[in-house]
Structure 1
């Protein structure tokens, strides 16, 4: 059975939160604040937080800077994952991935289906890895953020969660670079 192995230590993960929106501010960014509240309640560290317009170059600029930042292990965005013309977060993230975590979006939609039915098909939530940093793009609704954190990320970002988790992979995410330098 999956669960927490209490013999393993908790390891705080350094997480940056990006809200993708043309209209939100820190005062009314409920989804971004929900992520911040949940990650801090779980014992993780908020490394940075920004709100950026729905523009691929703007999103990629922030995410690239965070990927280079050694004080950031994970980037989680909220917003811009729908199918309208302004929804470009998946395109911005997919172009940066070295490896896509296809199962993240699939699992998110499966869990979301149980709550909102076929409306989940409009979500293009995605996950991947770039430069040794995990990247996750979530929908902009507060409910979707809660579902992704409470049902997936809180477990996968906990080193104690077994049988496996993302935290135990941090040191191995850039093995290809170590081999190429040898």
Structure 2
């Protein structure tokens, strides 16, 4: 099964040249032979995030990975943008991510609102922090090892 992954970077400051996290996600996914679209870079704005999400859905992606905007700052709105889109949340993803993150950064991990789930059309979504090390942790320890299993289970 060949999966297509779409990437959205949520940031008020990143550009194509400075998007280390989006490019890392792209590189790690490409190494595992996924077809990759993006990263699309959008501002910390609910409408822009949802528009980018819809753009990727129209390109027949299987998985959408966002990075950025998952913290607790007032301008962090990724979760507010995507939570209404989720039909089925996968709570274990956020729980495992925060647990693994705690091992690396301590109690700062509690501020991460990382989530995963499926939308109405069964696209699998992961919302990651913007930190490059957090994206590496999520990709290497959670997403890449489990993405095929999650998609297979949902498509039963």
Q: TM-score range by the shorter chain?
A: over 0.9
Residue in structure 1 matched with residue 12 of structure 2 by the alignment: 22
Under a length normalisation based on structure 1, what TM-score does the superposition of the two structures give?
0.81
Deviates more, 1:42-51 or 1:121-130: 42-51
Distance 1:20 1:139 in 2: 9
Under a length normalisation based on structure 2, what TM-score does the superposition of the two structures give?
0.94
| Displacement of 1:150 | 0.6
Whether the 8 Å contact between 2:124 and 2:151 is mirrored in structure 1 is no
Residue in structure 1 matched with residue 22 of structure 2 by the alignment: 32
Q: Structure 1 unaligned segments of length 5 or more: list them.
A: 1-10, 160-164, 173-182
| Displacement of 1:65 | 3.0
Residue in structure 2 matched with residue 135 of structure 1 by the alignment: 125
Which residue, 91, 97, 100 being the options, matches 1:111? 100
Q: Structure 2 unaligned segments of length 5 or more: list them.
A: none
Deviating beyond 2 angstroms after TM superposition, the runs of 4 or more aligned structure 1 residues are 64-70, 169-172
Distance 1:127 1:167 in 2: 12
| Displacement of 1:170 | 4.9
Residue in structure 2 matched with residue 52 of structure 1 by the alignment: 42
Once the two structures are superposed, the pairs formed by residues 31-180 of structure 1 within 5 Å of their partners are: 31-70=21-60, 72-130=61-119, 131-157=121-147, 159=148, 165-172=149-156
Q: Which is higher, the Rg of structure 1 or of structure 2?
A: 1
What is the aligned residue count? Answer: 155
